[in-house]
Amino acid sequence: MVFPRVIATDLDGTLLGLDGQVSERNRRALSAAVAAGVKLVLSTARPPRTTRHIAAQFTCSAVLCGNGAVASLPGAEPMLRALEVATAGDVVTRLRGVMPTVGFGVETGTDFYHDAEYRLAPWMSRDWVREVVDSTDSLLARAKPITKLLVQSQETPVHLLHETAVEAVGALAEVTYSGGSGLLELSASGVDKGSTLAMVCERWGVSAEEVVAFGDMPNDLPALTWAGAGYAMASGHPGLLDPGLGLRVAPPAHEHGVARVVEELLS
């Protein structure tokens, strides 16, 4: 492979260790890559407010949040790729028809709203919630722009929830997930980590063959398959380790997998 002009990495389960922190080895390796002229892109399902403190540890050329719905480049206003309210209403109607007990939440790029059926995960601070809205209709009316629509089930495993939602939603939205709990993440049609990474790289005049990407969950797959060298973490979702996908495998995240690959590239 060619020496990369861009390194794009997911955060949770990829760059971050079990303690949720960037290891010193990972930090040194990516900082060395930047010093060698490589553009660093952080790409995450997280919203900007929980990503900034991580991005501040590096010199980033771009930070992509919300599975590509919010793209931030130095010196420029964030680019939003939002789900239209009318489309979100159609999506909610379809999902309610096949899974009536789910709760809904909305990320706007700056704030988080949810309806009365949505239950916060134990790790999620209530300070992150801008407002709890009685009905889903009111939620869609108040929470704008819709950078990510969250669908939560207390009863259904996420892989089954995903299958049901994909069939129900069709081409109206992108449906994915980045965790093991019953939580789906929906973006506007065509918006995912891969399409936004491609858009940013086109702005820089960088081809897919010049990009190395790291990830560990289904929401990372579009970026991993678009990049010239996509690395699935050995500690990640088993589906990404299917040889048929043609991805490379990086060592586990808790063993500094990103750093070990980047160090080899730099050498």
Span 18-66, pLDDT tens digits = 999 999 999 999 999 999 999 999 999 999 999 999 999 999 999 999 9
| CA-based torsion, 164, 69, 67, 5: positive or negative | positive
Range list for CATH 3.40.50.1000 in the chain: 6-80+191-266
| Local confidence band at 126 (pLDDT 50, 70, 90 cut-offs) | confident
Write down the pLDDT at residue 181: 83
pLDDT, tens digit, for every residue of 151-175?
999 888 999 999 999 999 999 999 9
Percent of the chain with pLDDT over 70: 100
pLDDT, tens digit, for every residue of 200-217?
999 999 999 999 999 999
What dotted CATH number matches 85-188?
Answer: 3.30.1240.10
Write down the pLDDT at residue 179: 86
DSSP 3-state assignment of 157?
coil
Angle at alpha carbon of residue 131, lines to 156 and 16, rounded to 5°: 60
Percent of the chain with pLDDT over 90: 91
Mean pLDDT for 115-144 is: 89
Write down the pLDDT at residue 73: 97
Beta-carbon contacts of residue 119 (< 8 Å; ≥ 6 apart): 103, 152, 154
DSSP 3-state assignment of 129?
strand
Residue with tokens 């680019």: 79
Write down the pLDDT at residue 111: 95
Beta-carbon contacts of residue 212 (< 8 Å; ≥ 6 apart): 1, 4, 6, 7, 8, 227, 228, 229, 230, 231, 261, 265
pTM of the model: 0.96
Beta-carbon contacts of residue 229 (< 8 Å; ≥ 6 apart): 1, 4, 211, 212, 213, 248
Mean pLDDT for 121-144 is: 88
Output the average pLDDT for the chain: 95
Q: How many Cβ atoms sit within 10 Å of the Cβ of residue 57?
A: 14
Domain 6-80+191-266, second-level architecture: 3-Layer(aba) Sandwich (3.40)
DSSP 17: -
Write phi, then psi, for 190 (nearest 5 degrees).
Answer: 85, -5
Range list for CATH 3.30.1240.10 in the chain: 85-188
Write down the pLDDT at residue 143: 96
Write down the pLDDT at residue 1: 65
Angle at alpha carbon of residue 198, lines to 195 and 204, rounded to 5°: 150
Whether the pLDDT of residue 110 is over 80: the answer is yes
